Every structure is written in structure tokens, then in C-alpha cells.
Amino acid sequence: MSLESIGGYTLIDLLARGGMAEVYLATTAGEASLRKQVAIKRVLRKLSQSQDFIKMFHDEAKVAIQLRHKNIVTVYDFGIDRGYPYLVMEYVPGHSLQDVRNKLLEKKQFLSLDHVLYLVKEIASGLAYAHNFKDLESGAKLNLIHRDITPQNIMFGINGDVKIIDFGVARSDFNTSVTQVGMIKGKYGYLSPEQLELMPLDARSDLFSLGILFFELLFNKKLFSFNSEIEYFAQLRNFKCTPDLISTRDLPVPVSEILLRLLQPNREERYSTALSALEELTMVLHSLFPRYTEVEFAKFIQDWMPSSQLSFNQMPKQFLSGDRVSVVKVKKSYTFRLPKGLA
């Protein structure tokens, strides 16, 4: 059986397909014992002819390929193969935050507070790095904003590592492609108020999205529940963050204070930087759970979702037999137009 290749990488299985790209599990060339597993994100045929989209994809590559942090999925390479642009990325055998949330809902369980604080702290760590990143050539700060911090874009490895994925809708001063006036980039349920208002964004937009994730992990429910675009936009526009919002659970005061500050609709009342949020999250985690480390989180992931323990040597046989072992949930970057009456 001959396997397809992209840019010299051998494809093993399709992991995910969205509206803009598809993601494959692949291996590098060479002896079997020396091959490295990678994920390859390739633009779909229908978009490979669009110069605007190719420019956007290239912008993503230019930024993402420079980022090197334990809480951000590494991008190794960029290329064009038979007319299809592609990114070669670190493959994370594990689960997404969405997987964990779905299982919590299914079992009607809450994630323990130590795990929640650790998760949010690790995401804040990745954001703090990205927000302050400087271009390696010019030394200029890129003012990078992810704009799509959602459960689908947070991955957990089997060793307890937490990774932010998909900078496909990120905005930075490096971008040559520009979001059109009147357009919103991001996913419903996780937008910041300033994204809705089409205001110039800064790093505090990602902190509001982080606050939504924090809330959903603590309360095991959506912060915004809606059935239509207009209903969601109205909720977000009228959102108020008061202590009543979190009154249904008895949280330690420092945890409540961090959550409420992240969720302030007025960005001037949020943390000014992800680093400030990270410092407080770290202090509270160590204060409440002084013995907690990533080892505890790794044990939780391995015990709770053990399918992620399958070794790489077993993967090709499993994939070829049709059994999906681990899915990297890289979803499309949605673009929304404001409904009439809310523009």
C-alpha cells in the first residue's frame, strides 16, 4: 500500500478537516526507528487558488514558526506542495479541552480546583509569551493576539503538558492580510466585547476568552447559552460581571477575584497583561495546593482518558485498520459578519 506524501513527509491518517484546512498525522523520512511524528496542516483545494487566503496562511506561518514555548504547539516548517501550502507542526498525542469538558458533562462531574487552576495558569503562560514575543529578525514586538482561545484550541499531552494550538486567526503587527471592516474573527461563545464592537484589539481580548474558559471549567456550564447569532450578540453586548455570576459555587476568595477580573466587559478593568494574570494564578495555585505539579495533571489525563497512552509504534497499524486513536481537533477559523441591527 503506497502512502501519500506532502513535502517529503509520509501521511499516515487524516486527523481533522475544517472549512479552511485539513490536518494529517505524518512521519519524517528515514529509518523507522528515527522517524518523528508530526501533524501537517494543508490548505483545502477550494482555497489554494485564493491569493488572499494564501497570504493569510503565510502570515500564520511567519509568526507561528518563530514561537518556541512549552505551552504553544511548535511549528517546524512551511512549504507549498503541488500548489497546496502546508504547515508542519508538533503532534500532540492526547486530548483537547473540549474532550475533557464533554466527559465532565457526560459524567456530571466537576474538574477539581487544583486541575482547573493549573490548566488556566498554563494557558496564561503561553499567552504571556506570545503577547510579548519579538520578531527574531527585526527585534520588533509583534503585538500578537490569538483571538480564538477556545476549548478546541487547547490540547493536553499524555505527560501533563498543556498546549495552545492554531494561530490561524491570530493578529499581529507582522500580518500583511487585514481583517475586513465589519467582520469578526473568532468563535461564538468566546469572543470579547471589543471583538463584537470591532474595536482595535490588544492582548486583553485573549484574557476575556481565558476568563470564559476559566468559568466553564469551574461551573461545568457555558457562560453564554444561545440559539442564534442575534441572541448571542445581545448577551455579550449586555454582559455584566458581578459576584452574583459566581454565587452558585463556594470558591476561595482569591480564585473568585481572578475570575471576575478576567471577565470584566470593560477591558480597562481586566488584567493589563497575561503576565499579571499568570503571576496571580501561580501564587494562588501554590498557596492552595503547595504540592501540586504537572505530574498530578499527567496522572489525571492518563487515568481519566487512557486511550491517549497508545504508543507511536502502535499507531500506523491502528490507523490503517480504521481505529482512530487520538484526534487533534484543529477546527476552521470562522469569520462572522455582524447581523443587521447590531452593526
What is the grid cell recorded at 147?
483571538
Integer Cα distance of 128 and 39 in angstroms:
25
Please state at what angle helix 294-304 crosses helix 113-131, rounded to 10 degrees: 110
| Nearest alpha-carbon partner for 315 in 75, 103, 32, 98 | 32
| Nearest alpha-carbon partner for 169 in 187, 154, 157, 182 | 187
Integer Cα distance of 21 and 330 in angstroms:
9
Does the annotation count 114 as an active-site position?
no
Considering Cα of 276, then 200, then 237, then 110, what sign does the dihedral take? negative
Integer Cα distance of 96 and 329 in angstroms:
7
Q: CA-based angle 88:89:93, to the nearest 5?
A: 135
- Name the β-bridge partners of 337: 183
Sheet order of strands, 21-27 included: 5-6, 9-17, 21-27, 37-43, 84-90, 75-81
| Nearest alpha-carbon partner for 207 in 261, 257, 252 | 261
- Name the β-bridge partners of 11: 26
Integer Cα distance of 293 and 301 in angstroms:
13
| Nearest alpha-carbon partner for 10 in 25, 27, 23 | 27
Out of 13, 59, 99, 148, the active site residue is: 148
What is the grid cell recorded at 308?
491517549
Distances (CA, A) of 176 to 118, 275, 279: 36, 27, 33
Catalytic residues, which ones?
Answer: 148
